[in-house]
Each structure stands twice: as structure tokens, then as C-alpha cells.
Amino acid sequence: MTGTKSGAEAQADPLAAPDTPFALLDVAKVRRNIARLAERVGDLGVSLRPHLKTAKSLEVAALVHGGEPGPITVSTLAEAEAFADGGYTDILYAVGIDPHKLPRVLALLRRGVRLSVLLDSTAQARAVREAAASAGTPIPALIEIDCDGHRGGFTLEHPSLVETGRILAGCDSLAGVLVHAGESYFADGLAEQREAAARERDVAVAAARKLRDAGLEVGTVSVGSTPTAHAATDLTGVTEVRAGNYVFFDLVMAGLGVCDVHDLALSIVVTVIGHRPERGWLLTDGGWMAMSRDRGTAGQRVDQGYGLVTDLAGAPIPELVMTGASQEHGVLSTRDGTAPPELPIGTRLRILPNHACATAAQHAGYHVIDAGETAIRGYWKRISGW
């Protein structure tokens, strides 16, 4: 465990030591979440390309791949560069490529990193072709395919899909196709998630077939999202699965039934700094700067406010919810309007977040504990910026 302190030092850093608010990672839960998906994906006979946009941490990435650099997905070139520095050589940058960023892509390719880009237009494919020609090197590119109208990607019927494949193939840059079932984040329950997973796979395989029917070679057929990766029962024709949120999980995923609240590995430690008994409020020093403004459970069956509350050891405090936030203040109150527990000023609590990707991004790194421990084992830095 990088950053782990020796036994004696660890005892000197209990959970009560760092000033609040801070991000806390339970590495035993991270390992359990990783093992669960690894087993599932192994059973389905495909490889896993974890999306590191949630954790943005070399130490977490090492846990996913058993300590050896393996295939990964990233959301920024800053992540790609940091993971390349950490020895990763097979990286997918899964945001539609801005032609302006191709020089940084080429710089990574020159370093021996197989960095793949993503695109869904002939304009981007032509930019890739020009950059590849002037650099004298192919730029591996995946064509994004849309399966549910969530965001980007060609529909299967789009008239430019095959033309884009031809442009890329003409400069040895056609790596394959990619689908992301983004709407699965609203698929409530296993039945809907299975349907989303089947559609994601069907569309990816159909797109690959369409390109192959046009005489093009399609190596990678990439699918994935945390809900569909856990729900898929058949991935015939798919070569790899992506998922990111699952390493930490969060209340949105618990609300969909993808995980249980006890699986949440990330929490924010806060301190009670005030009481407003006449309003039923406890005030804390963890506001939206510590939690993010994400209210992802607002549209779910149970709105969890800005997060659920546990004691410092992680035991849930029933009915207590973070219901309000300003920049550096959190408001805790009970779901049923009864008086909150009497917690003195200075009491430390943990808040379980709606959306781990957004909450983690508010912090420079994670204080790390192992199962059931109250001593901090290390500090894992996050990669930030673009």
C-alpha cells in the first residue's frame, strides 16, 4: 500500500487527527467491490478496462489490476499522463477528441503508450488522419456509438458511421467501437439494468458488424457502465467492459439496487459545529465544498439529500440525512422531522455521498483505512485538472 505508514506511526494518526472535512476511503470495501466485478467479468469471458475517472488514484488503480499496470480508461489527458508516468501503457481516453488536444495524444504515443481516442464525426476522423500523417504514426481511435440517446455517438443508422471507419482505416487508426449505456444510471432494478446491458451489447456488436460488412477491421468492441457491467448476462461479441464508479459505489448506485449502502467505500468526515434545536438541525463543517453540489438521488425513489450520516466508526445513524449545504456548512436533520440525536460540538461523523465521482473530486486525496480500523494507514493523492 503506497503511502502506508509503519505501525507505530499509524497509531499516531487516528481518525480523529486530520482537520475536517476530509475524504476517507475504506480500502477493504474497495477491494471487495473490485473483486465482485472482476469475478463477474471473468465469468463473462471478457476483459475489464476500469474507468479511473472516479478514483483518479494510482494506488486504487493498482488494486484493480493486482499491482500490475493493465488496461484502463480515463476522462482527461491529465489522467492519461499521470497514469503513463505510473507505468500504464494501454489507456483509453473516453471523451470525444478535441482536435486541439492531439499534440498531447501524440506525445503519449511517442512515449510508447498505446493511447486510444474516441470520436463520432468525420471531422474528428479527418483531424486524426492529418495528425497521424504529419506525425508518421497511427492514432488508435474508437468510434463512439449511441445506444440510448444519452450523450454522444453515432446511431447505428447514421450515414457517416461507415465513412468515419474508412477514414480511420485509411490511416491505420481504426481500433474499434465503443458504447456507453449512460441511461443505465436511471435504470431502477436488475430487470431494467439487464435490458440496458443487452441493448448496449446488441448495439456495439451491430456497429462492429456494420463496419466489418464494409470490409473494415474492428478489433475492440468496448461496452460498459457500472450498472450494465454488473447486470450483463451475455457479452458475446464484446471484447472489453468498462466501469468506474463501482470501485467506490455511492448512494445513487445503492438507490438503483446495484450495491448496498454498506458497500460504499468513500465517505467525508465532518465535525458538528452547531445546533439549531428549534429547527431540528445539526450544523457541520462539511458543506458543498466537501460534498459537491451533486443531488443525484433527488430523482430516485428515496431522496438522500446531500448524503446519509454514520458515526465516525461507520455505523449508520438511522433517519439522519444531510439535508442542506452552503459552501462550508452542512445541515443534518431527520427524515421524519423528529429531533436529531444530541451530538456535542466537536463530534465527528461521516457522510456517505450521492455521487462518488463528484464528491471525490472536491478533495486532493484520500485518507485510507482498512476494514474496521480506526487508524489511518496512508494518504492517496488524486490526479486533478485537465
Exposure on the CB side of residue 375, measured as CA atoms within 13 A: 11
Q: What are phi and psi of 234, to 5 degrees?
A: -150, 120
Sign of the Cα torsion 104, 107, 108, 114 reads: positive
- Min dist CB 321 to its own copies, Å, is 17
Stretch that binds its own copies, among 170-178, 199-207, 289-297, 335-343 (CB under 8 A): 289-297
Measured CA to CA, the distance from residue 173 to residue 7 in angstroms comes to 50
Query: Residue 10 has which C-alpha cell?
Result: 499509524
- Min dist CB 135 to its own copies, Å, is 18
Residue 96 near its own copies by CB under 8 A: yes
Measured CA to CA, the distance from residue 119 to residue 94 in angstroms comes to 9
Q: Which helix (H) or strand (E) holds 37?
A: helix 27-43
Q: Name which of 88 and 288 has its Cβ closer to its own copies.
A: 288
- Min dist CB 303 to its own copies, Å, is 15
Residue 250 near its own copies by CB under 8 A: no
Residue 101 near its own copies by CB under 8 A: yes
Residue 22: CB atoms within 10 A of its CB come to: 21
Stretch that binds its own copies, among 132-140, 207-215, 248-256, 323-331 (CB under 8 A): 323-331
- Min dist CB 346 to its own copies, Å, is 5
- Min dist CB 276 to its own copies, Å, is 7
Q: Name which of 6 and 386 has its Cβ closer to its own copies.
A: 386
2, 326, 338, 374: residue in contact with its own copies (rule CB under 8 A): 326
Measured CA to CA, the distance from residue 166 to residue 164 in angstroms comes to 5
| Pick from 253, 227, 358, 252: nearest CA to 304 | 252
Residue 31 near its own copies by CB under 8 A: no
- Min dist CB 111 to its own copies, Å, is 18
Q: Which long-range contacts (CB under 8 A, 24 or more apart) does 335-339 make?
A: 337/280, 338/280, 339/277, 339/280
Residue 351 near its own copies by CB under 8 A: no
DSSP state of 213: H
Residue 159 near its own copies by CB under 8 A: no
278's CB contacts (< 8 A; 6+ apart) are none
Q: Name which of 28 and 78 has its Cβ closer to its own copies.
A: 78
C-alpha dist (Å) from residue 98 to 5, 79, 139, 162: 42, 16, 14, 21
Q: Cell match 444531510: residue? A: 322
- Min dist CB 233 to its own copies, Å, is 26
Residue 276 near its own copies by CB under 8 A: yes
Query: Residue 76 has which C-alpha cell?
Result: 482527461
Measured CA to CA, the distance from residue 352 to residue 29 in angstroms comes to 13
Measured CA to CA, the distance from residue 184 to residue 194 in angstroms comes to 9
- Min dist CB 258 to its own copies, Å, is 18
Contact 176, 220 (CB under 8 A): yes
Measured CA to CA, the distance from residue 165 to residue 141 in angstroms comes to 9
Q: Cell match 427524515: residue? A: 335
Residue 337 near its own copies by CB under 8 A: no
Q: Cell match 470490409: residue? A: 215
Residue 156 near its own copies by CB under 8 A: no
- Min dist CB 95 to its own copies, Å, is 5
Report how many residues bind its own copies under the rule CB under 8 A.
61
Which residues ranging from 52 to 91 are in contact with its own copies (CB under 8 A)?
A: 53, 75-77
Residue 367 near its own copies by CB under 8 A: no
Per-residue binding letters, 112-151, with its own copies (x by CB under 8 A): --------xx-xx--x---------------------x-x
Q: Which amino acid is at 258?
A: V
262's CB contacts (< 8 A; 6+ apart) are none
Per-residue binding letters, 294-313, with its own copies (x by CB under 8 A): xx------------------
Residue ranges that bind its own copies, judged by CB under 8 A: 16, 19-22, 53, 75-77, 95-101, 104, 120-121, 123-124, 127, 149, 151-152, 155, 182, 271, 273-276, 278-279, 283, 285, 288-290, 292-295, 326-329, 331, 344-346, 355, 357-358, 361-364, 384-386
